[in-house]
Structure 1
Amino acid sequence: MAEAVVGLLIGKLGEALLSEGAAYGASLLCTEASALKGFFGEIRRATGWLEIMKAFLKDSEKFKDTNETTDLLVKKIRGLAFRMEDVVDEFKYKLEGEKHGGFAAKMKKRIQNVKVWRRLAQELREINADLEDVAKQRNLCALPERRDGGSDHHASLTNETVCFAREEDLVGIKDNAEKLKGWLTGDLKEHKSKIVAVWGMGGAGKTTLVNYVYKIVKEEFDVAAWVTVSKSYQVKGLLQKIAQETGISVDVSNMDMRGLGETISNHLRCKSYILVLDDVWEQKVWIDIMDVFPNGRSNRFVFTSRNFEVASMATSGCAVKLAPLEDNNSWKLFCNLAFRNVGDKKCPSELRNLAVKFLEKCDGLPLAIACIGRLLSCKPPTLSDWKKVYEELEVHSSVIRGVDSILKLSLEDLSYELKNCFLHCAMFPEDYHIKRRRLIRHWITAGFIKKQQNKTLEEVAEDNLYEIINRSLLQVTEVNEFGRVKSCQMHDIIRHLALHKAEEECFGKTYEGLGTFSEDGIRRLSLQSANIAPLCESGTKNLRAIHAFISNLDIDLLKPILASSSLLSTLDLQGTQIKVLPDEVFSLFNLRFLGLRDTEIQILPETVGRLQNLEVLDAWKTFLKYLPKGVTKLKKLRYLYANRVATQGLSLFDGVKVPRGMRNLTGLHALQQVNASLETLCDVAALTELRTFSVSECPELKCVPRGIENVAALEELYLVDTAEELIEKLRQKHEADESNKELMKISHIRKISEHASNK
C-alpha cells in the first residue's frame, strides 16, 4: 500500500506549490526569494518522479509478498516518500510561523528561515537523487507478466479448498440454501432469465453455499457450468473458460472474440442452462459478456461477490448477503472440523475455554473457523498442543494463516484514496462503533479526501465510506430514520489484517501498554492504554495523528509526545477526562483536527487562535461556558461544535457564548450550539457556507433571525430555548407562502427543530 503513501504525498506537494506565489509575495529579502526558488524547483522535480513511482507501486502491490527485490524497492520508495513528507510539512510549519508576532519578530524569523529553506531544498535534492536511483533499479526489477488469473493464485487455491467441504461441515446455510434453490428452480417452466447473487466479505462462505446448491440443482438444466472469474480477467480468457465448462467440444483456443461469442451462443440456444460466475469483482465482468447468452429457455446466472455493486445486478429479490455465523453454528462448525477424527465430535471439557478463545478470534467468519479447525484436527487434542497453536496465533497478530491471502485481495483492489480511508478505520478499538460524521471529519482533515467536480469534500468522503461498506470491509451497525449510515464497525479479522498492514506500511499503530513500543517512523498513533510513559521514551517525532480511546488519560504524560510532534495534524481526545489542554497543543501550527468531545475541558485559552490551520474544533458535551476571542482568527475552520453539560434546568446541555467576529469564519459548515445574542446572529447571517446552525438560550429572539435567507446552503436549523412566539411561527413553516415573508426566509431549510441536535 505504499502507493497510498505516495498518492497522499503528491497531493501535499500540489498544495505546497499553490503557496508558492504567496511565499514569494511575502518575501522581503532577495536571499529569501532565491532560497524559496530552489525549494520549489525541487518540489516540481519530485512530483514528476513520484508520479512514475506511483504507477510502479500500483503494479507491484500484487507481487510484493512473493518477490524479495520488489519488497525492498517498495520499502525504499515508501521511506523516501516519508522523508519528503517531513520536508514539506516542516516547510509549511515554518511558513505559518512567520505570520505570528510583530514586525521585528517576523523579520527575525524570515532571516532565520533563509537557512531553513536552503537546508530543506538540499534535503529535497538528495531525496530526488535517491528517487532517480530507485527509478534505475526499477528497470532491473521486472514484474511477472499479468496472465488471466495469475494474480489470484491464493484466492483460487482457497476457493478450491472450500469447494471440498464435507456435507456435515455445511453449517448454518440451510435457510439461505432453500432461498437459492427456490430462486433457481421454482419457476423453470416460465422460461425466464434470472440473475441470482450471493455477496459478503471474503471468507463468509459464498462459494461454499453456492457450490452446495449448484450440485443439487444442476441436473434440472440441460447445461451447467461453473467458472471462477479472475480479478485481473480478460474477456477472451473468460469466454474460453465458459466455452470449455459448458461442454463445447471444438477447439476455441485460436478463435477471436466474435467467433467465441457466436460459438457459445449457438451451443446454448434452445437449451436451459445455469452458469455460476464465482468471485466477480465488478459489474463490468457481466457487461462485457452478457450479450453472448441467448434467451428463449430457462437460464440462470449466479454471481458470488464481495461487492454490493455486483449484487445489485441481481433480479429483484434474488440477492442474499451472508452474515457471520451465529455463536451456536460457529461452535458446531468448529467441533466438526477440529474433532473430525473423533467419533462424537465433541470438545473435551479441558479444551473448551481455549476453543472459545479460538472462536473469538474467528468472530463468526466460516473461512477462519475452517482454517483453525483443520489445523487443530492435525494436532493431538491436548491442552499443551492447543496452547502452542494459540500462542503462535498471538505472535502473528491474530492474522489466521489461509485467511489473510483471501482478505488481502480485497485490500489490493482498493484505490489509493480508499486504502488510506480503510486503514484509518483500523485505528479504532476492536468492536468500536465508528460514527459516520466523526470518521468523515478525520478523513478530510488528514488530507485523504480530494474535492471532485460538483461535490463537496463531505459528499466525496461519504461516497468513499459507502464504497468501503459495499465492498464488505465495514459492517453497518446503525442507520438513521432516512436509512443513512450513522455508525459502522470493522470485523475483527479484517481489523487484525488492516492493523498488520498499517504497521507494516508505517501508516499507524495501536498502543495497548503491553511490551516495548517501537516508533519506527509511525505516522498515526492510537492510544488504547493509560500507561503511556513508555511512549515518552520511544522518541516519537514523526506523528501526524494521535487518537486517544481511554478515559483516564494523564495529560501531563502526553506533553513530551506533543512537544516532539510539531507536525501533528490530528489530536482527538474524545472521551478522556482531561480538564485542561497543555500549552504544547497551541504550538501545533499544523493541527487541523482538535477533538475534545465528552471531556471535562472548562476553558480554552486565547492562544487557540494560533492554530491557523484548524478545520475541526469539537468541544461538544464539555464544561465550556464560552469560546475565546481567538476562535475568530481560525479562518480555515469548517466545523465548530461546542456545548456544555447543564447544571440546572430541564436541558441536558446548554449552549456556549461566542465572541463577536464570527463573521470572519467564512468557511464554516457547522456551528453548534451557540448561546447567542442578536448581534451574534447578525454575524452568522454572513456565513454563506453554513450547512448546520444551532442556537440556544436566546429568549429575546422572537422572529426568524435577520439575514438567514442569505445563508442559502443552510440545511439544518436548531432553535432551542428561544421565545415561544418564534416556536409557534416555526410550527407553521409548512404553510409558508409569498404572503408570509418571514416564513419564506426559512423555506429553503430542510430541517428546523426546537430541540437540540445530537451531533
Structure 2
Amino acid sequence: MAEAVVGQLVVTLGGALAKEATIFGGALLGKEASALRGLFGKICDSKAELESMQACLQEAEQFKDTDKTTAIFVGEIRGFAFQIEDVVDEFTYKLEDCKHGGFAGKMKKRLKHIKTWRRLAAKLQEIDVKLKDAKRRKQDYAVVAGIGGSASAAKSTSRGQALHFTRDEDLVGIEENKEKLIRWLTGSGGGDYLEQSNSKVTTVWGMPGVGKTTLVAHVYNTVKLDFDAVAWVTVSESYNLEDLLKKIAAEFGIAGNIANFEMRRLAESVNNYLQGKKYILVLDDVWTPLVWSEIRNAFPTSNCTGRFIITSRKHEVSQLATGESAVHLEPLEAHHSWVLFCNGAFWNHVDKQCPLELQKLAWKFIAKCQGLPIAIACIGRLLSCKPPTSAEWENVYRGLDSQLVKDVIPDAHMILKISLEDLPYNLKNCFLHCALFPENYVLQRRKTMRQWISAGFIREKEESRTLEEVADGYLAELVNRSLLQVVKRNYAARLKHCRMHEVIRLVALNKAKEECFGKVYSGSGTGAFSVEGARRISVQGGNLEHLSRTAATHLRSLHVFGRYINVDLLKPILTSSNLLSMLDLQGTCIKMLPNEVFNFFNLRYLGLRYTDLESLPDAVRRLQNLEVLDAVHSKLTYLPNSIVKLQNLRYLYASSTFSTSENVRAGGVKVPSGIQHLAGLRALQRVKATPEFLHEVGALTELRTLDVCDVQSEHSADLSNAITKMSHLVHLAIVAAAENEVMWLEGLYLPPTLSWLALRGKLEKTSMPQLFSSWSHLNSLTRLQLVFSNIDEETFSCLCVLRGLRFLWLRKAFEGKRLYFYTGSFPNLTHLFIRSAAQLNQVGIEKGAMQNLIELSLTDCPELKFVPDGIKHLASLEKLILEDTSEELIEKLLEKRYSDECSEDAMQISHIRNVTVGLSHKGLWERIR
C-alpha cells in the first residue's frame, strides 16, 4: 500500500507549500529568505515527483508479491516517502517554534533555523537523487510481465476457478439460506415462481471468506437442470465490459466466432439465444452495481424466464435484488464452526471427531476464526497435516497469534488481500488504523472519526462537506465493503459501534507491519520488540519488559491499552518521539501526564478518557496544534487557564467521574475565562455553568455539541441567549444544578439543525406549553430526553409537534395520572421509555398513534395496574418491558402465561414477540414471551 503513504504525503506537501505565501508576505532576513526559497523549491519538486509516481505505484502494488524487483521498488518508494514526511514535519515544527517567545528569542530562533532550512533542503535533494536511482534500477532490471488487463484477468480467473468448486464437507450451516435461494429461483414449495415473474435478481452478500460462492455454487449445481441455459461468470474488480460479455456468451454455449464480435453484435447474440428459454446466470464477486446496469439490456425480458444470482462483498451491490430477495450471509454459529473444523482437521478419521485432549485447543482456533468458513477450513486442512499432539497444535496457534497469517490461512489471506488492494489510498489508511486496536475491540463511530481527522487521513473534498461528514462516509464505506462489522446502530438506524473481524484484523495487521504503517506490542514472546522505524505503535500488554524504548524518532501515534500499564516506562519512547501527532492513553490509571507530552508541538489528539487524571498543567498551552482533547470520565474538575491558548482545538470533552449512593455519575468541569477565543470548537462537553462562561460561550458559533451542567435558575436567560446564536448545533444537553432547580427557557430558540436534546431539570409550568410548541420547526430532532420536567397530561400533548422524533425518554418527568397518545401522534417514534412516573395509572393508545414503535418500556410506575389500553394497535411493537409497575399487573401476567384462559391484558400483548416483566425488590426479571 505504498500508494496510500504517497497519497497522504502529497496532501501534506500541499499543506506545507500553502505556508509559502504567508511566510514571504512578512519581513524576512536575506539569508533566511534564500534558505526558505530553496527549501520550498525542493518541497515543490518532491510533490510533483510523488504525484506522478502515485498512479504507477497503484499498478505496481498488484505485482509486488510475484515480482521481487517490483517489491523492492515499492518498498524503497515507501521508505523515501517516510523520509520526505519527516522533513516536512520537522520543517512545520521548527517554523511554528519561531512564532513563540519574545522579540529577541524569536530572532535568535530564526537565525538558528537558517541552517535547518538548508539542511532540510539538502536532505530532500539527497532523497530525490535516491528516488531517481531507484526508478532507474527498476527499469533496468524489471522482468517483462503481463501488466494491466491480462494480469488482472488472470488473477480473477484463477480465483474464480479455485472457488467455483465446492466439497460436501464444506457445506455446513447453509441449509436455511440454501432452501431460501432454491425457493426464489424455482418457486418450489410456493407455486411455480418461474411462471410468476419473467426476470428476477437475487443477491448474496457478506464479508470476504464468509462462504458466498460456496453457498451459491451448491445451489447452482442443484437447480441448473431446471433451466434450459446456465452460465457462471466470475467478475473481477477491474472487469472489461466486452470481455465480460464474451465470457457470458461462452458460458451459455453460444455458437459462432464470438471472439471477433463487436460489443453490439455480442449483446444481440446473447439476447437472441436466450429468447424463449428458462435461463440462469451467476455473476460471482461483483464489486460495483455498475456491472449490472451495463449488461442488463443484453438479456431478454419477455417470452422467457431469467434468474440472476449476484454475489458481492458490498452492501450497495446487494440492493440490486428484486424485492426482498437478498441474503446477508453471516459468520457461522459456534456449533457449525465446530463441525466444519472437525471435517477439515480430521477428514481422514472414520468418525471425524476431535480427541478429548485437543478439544480445548480446537476451540481456541475456532474462537480466533470467529465463524469465518474459509479461515476455519484453512486451519483445519493445515492441522490435518500435523501430528495430532498438543505441542504441534500450540506451535500452529502461536504462529497465527503472532500474525503469520500468510502461512496459516493462505486462502483467507489471498481473498482479504484483494479487498485491501481495491481500497483507495485514503480508505486504506483509515482501515489499517482500525486494525491497531485489540482483538474484538468495539470501535465507536465518533471517536474513530475524530482520530482519522487528527491523523490527517481525512481532507475536505468540497465546500459543502465537513471533515466529519467525509469521515462518516469513509466509515460507512468500510462497512459497505464488509471490512467492518456493525455491532450496534442507534435509534435512527445510524451506525454507532462497529468492530473488525479477527481474521480480517490479522490480515490487516500483517499488512500494516509489512507497510511500516503500524505495529502491535502484545507483551507476549521472548524477543525484543523494536519500535525503530515504526510510524504507529499500539501497546496492548501490561508487561513492557520486551518493548524497546528507544529510537522512536519516526513515531506518529501511540495507543496504550490496559488499565495497569505503567506509562512511566514509556518515557524513553515519548522523549524521542518529537513528531508524535496522536497519543491515546484511554483507560490507564495515570494521575498526571509525563512532562515529555508537552513537548509534542505536532500533537493533534490527546486521549485521556477513563483515566485517573486529576489535573492538567498550564504547560498544555505548548500543544498549539491540538485538535482533540478527550478527558471524559477522568478525575478532572477544572481546566487550566492556558487551555484558551489552543487555537486549533475542535473537540473539548472533559468530565469528572464520582460515585454516589446510587451509581457512578459524571460531573461537570469548570473552564477558565476566555473560552470565546476557541472559535473553531465543534464540541464542548461537559462544562459547569457560570455567569462568565455563559456570557462567552455564545461566541462559539461553530459548536455542534454543547453539554452544560450545574445550571441554576438565574442562568436561564444567559444560557438561552447563548444557544440562540449557535446556528449549527446538533447535540444539546442542559443539566440543572439540582432536581428542584427550575429552568426558565421560554426565550430559548433551538436551531433547526438540532437532532439530540436532553433537558434535566424542572421546567417552568406555565411556560411549558409555549416552549414545546416552539419546537415545531425541529424537523431533524430525533432524540429527546426529559428528566424532572414536571410535565402534566395537558402539556404532554404539546410534544406531539415533534413529528420526526424517534426516541423519547421520560424520567421523573411525567407527573400526571393518565398518559394518552392520540391518532397520528409521534408517527416516527421507535423507542419510548417512561420511568419513575409515580402517579401514572393509565396509558391509552388510539389506533394510528406511534405506528412505528418498536420498543416500549414502563419502569417504576407503581400505580399502573393494566397494560396500556390500545397496545394491540401497535403493530410494529417488538419489545415490551414492564418493570416495577404494580405487583398486581406483574403477577397477573406471570399467572396467565401458561394458562389456556387468556386475560384481556394477555390478549392485548399477544402480538409482541418479546415481553419482559420485573420486580426489583423481589429480584424478579423474567421474559414471558
Match of 1:206 in 2: 212
Q: 2:542 aligns with which of 530, 537, 541?
A: 530
**Greater RCO (Cα-Cα under 8 Å, separation 6 or more):** 1
Q: 1:503 aligns with which of 513, 522, 531?
A: 513
TM-score by length of 2: 0.78
Residues 709 and 746, structure 1, Cα contact 8 Å, conserved in 2: no
Q: Greater CA deviation, 140-149 or 494-503?
A: 140-149
Q: 1:631 aligns with which of 643, 650, 654?
A: 643
Q: Distance in 2 between matches of 1:250 and 1:621?
A: 73
1:437-476 alignment runs, 5 A limit: 437-453=446-462, 454-476=464-486
Q: 2:310 aligns with which of 297, 303, 308?
A: 303
Shift of 1:481: 0.8
**Identity %, equivalent residues:** 50
Shift of 1:222: 1.6
Q: Distance in 1 between matches of 2:120 and 2:27?
A: 17
Q: How many residues are matched?
A: 756
Q: Distance in 2 between matches of 1:237 and 1:606?
A: 66
- Per-residue CA shift, 1:510-545, capped at 9, x if unaligned? 111233112241100101122335435442211000
1:51-130 alignment runs, 5 A limit: 51-130=51-130
Matched, 1:486 2:504: no
Q: 1:292 aligns with which of 298, 313, 321?
A: 298
Measured at CA, do residues 342 and 315 of structure 1 come closer, stay the same or move farther in structure 2, by a change above 3 Å? same
Q: Greater CA deviation, 412-421 or 190-199?
A: 190-199
TM-score by length of 1: 0.95
Matched, 1:698 2:711: yes
What letter matches 1:470 in structure 2?
N
Shift of 1:556: 1.8
Shift of 1:21: 2.2
Q: Distance in 1 between matches of 2:481 and 2:359?
A: 35
- Per-residue CA shift, 1:657-706, capped at 9, x if unaligned? 11111111111110011102122122111111110101100213234521
Match of 1:281 in 2: 287
Match of 1:681 in 2: 694
Residues 434 and 488, structure 1, Cα contact 8 Å, conserved in 2: yes
Q: Which structure 2 segments of 5+ residues have no match?
A: 188-192, 749-758, 789-806, 808-929
SS in 1 for 2:106: helix
Q: Distance in 2 between matches of 1:577 and 1:88?
A: 35
Q: Distance in 1 between matches of 2:342 and 2:296?
A: 43
Shift of 1:716: 1.5
Measured at CA, do residues 13 and 737 of structure 1 come closer, stay the same or move farther in structure 2, by a change above 3 Å? farther
Q: 1:573 aligns with which of 579, 585, 597?
A: 585
SS in 2 for 1:198: strand
Q: Distance in 2 between matches of 1:654 and 1:385?
A: 54
Shift of 1:210: 0.4
Q: Which structure 1 segments of 5+ residues have no match?
A: none
SS in 2 for 1:328: helix
Matched, 1:561 2:570: no
Shift of 1:713: 0.6
Match of 2:184 in 1: 183
Measured at CA, do residues 649 and 683 of structure 1 come closer, stay the same or move farther in structure 2, by a change above 3 Å? farther
Question: What's the Cα RMSD here?
Answer: 2.6
Q: Distance in 1 between matches of 2:308 and 2:139?
A: 44
Measured at CA, do residues 540 and 2 of structure 1 come closer, stay the same or move farther in structure 2, by a change above 3 Å? same
Larger helix proportion, structure 1 or 2? 1
1:218-233 alignment runs, 5 A limit: 218-233=224-239
Match of 1:551 in 2: 563
Residues 330 and 359, structure 1, Cα contact 8 Å, conserved in 2: yes
Q: Greater CA deviation, 222-231 or 562-571?
A: 222-231
Residues 533 and 557, structure 1, Cα contact 8 Å, conserved in 2: no
Q: 2:445 aligns with which of 416, 425, 436?
A: 436
Residues 738 and 744, structure 1, Cα contact 8 Å, conserved in 2: no
Q: Distance in 2 between matches of 1:493 and 1:698?
A: 49
Shift of 1:290: 1.1
Residues 746 and 771, structure 2, Cα contact 8 Å, conserved in 1: no
- Per-residue CA shift, 1:337-356, capped at 9, x if unaligned? 22222221111223323322
Matched, 1:716 2:731: yes
Q: Distance in 1 between matches of 2:383 and 2:785?
A: 59
1:188-199 alignment runs, 5 A limit: 188-199=194-205
Q: Distance in 1 between matches of 2:158 and 2:390?
A: 31
Residues 440 and 500, structure 2, Cα contact 8 Å, conserved in 1: yes
Shift of 1:53: 1.4
Shift of 1:394: 5.1
What letter matches 1:177 in structure 2?
K
Q: Distance in 2 between matches of 1:134 and 1:470?
A: 38
Measured at CA, do residues 229 and 346 of structure 1 come closer, stay the same or move farther in structure 2, by a change above 3 Å? same
Residues 149 and 231, structure 1, Cα contact 8 Å, conserved in 2: no
Q: Greater CA deviation, 147-156 or 344-353?
A: 147-156
Q: Distance in 2 between matches of 1:149 and 1:205?
A: 27
Residues 209 and 415, structure 2, Cα contact 8 Å, conserved in 1: yes
SS in 2 for 1:277: strand
Measured at CA, do residues 26 and 754 of structure 1 come closer, stay the same or move farther in structure 2, by a change above 3 Å? farther
Shift of 1:213: 0.8
What letter matches 1:119 in structure 2?
R
Residues 718 and 755, structure 1, Cα contact 8 Å, conserved in 2: no
Q: Greater CA deviation, 698-707 or 72-81?
A: 698-707
Q: Distance in 1 between matches of 2:778 and 2:402?
A: 60
Shift of 1:272: 1.7
Matched, 1:339 2:330: no
Measured at CA, do residues 162 and 345 of structure 1 come closer, stay the same or move farther in structure 2, by a change above 3 Å? farther
SS in 2 for 1:403: helix
- Per-residue CA shift, 1:575-627, capped at 9, x if unaligned? 11100011111111000001111011111111111111000011111111111
Match of 2:383 in 1: 376
Match of 1:165 in 2: 166
Shift of 1:156: 4.6
Matched, 1:659 2:672: yes
Q: Distance in 2 between matches of 1:347 and 1:198?
A: 32
Q: Distance in 2 between matches of 1:235 and 1:134?
A: 36
Shift of 1:254: 0.6
Match of 1:726 in 2: 744
Shift of 1:185: 1.4
Q: Distance in 1 between matches of 2:536 and 2:420?
A: 19
Residues 550 and 573, structure 2, Cα contact 8 Å, conserved in 1: no
Match of 1:606 in 2: 618
Match of 1:322 in 2: 329
Residues 708 and 746, structure 1, Cα contact 8 Å, conserved in 2: no
Shift of 1:146: 4.3
Q: Greater CA deviation, 521-530 or 723-732?
A: 723-732
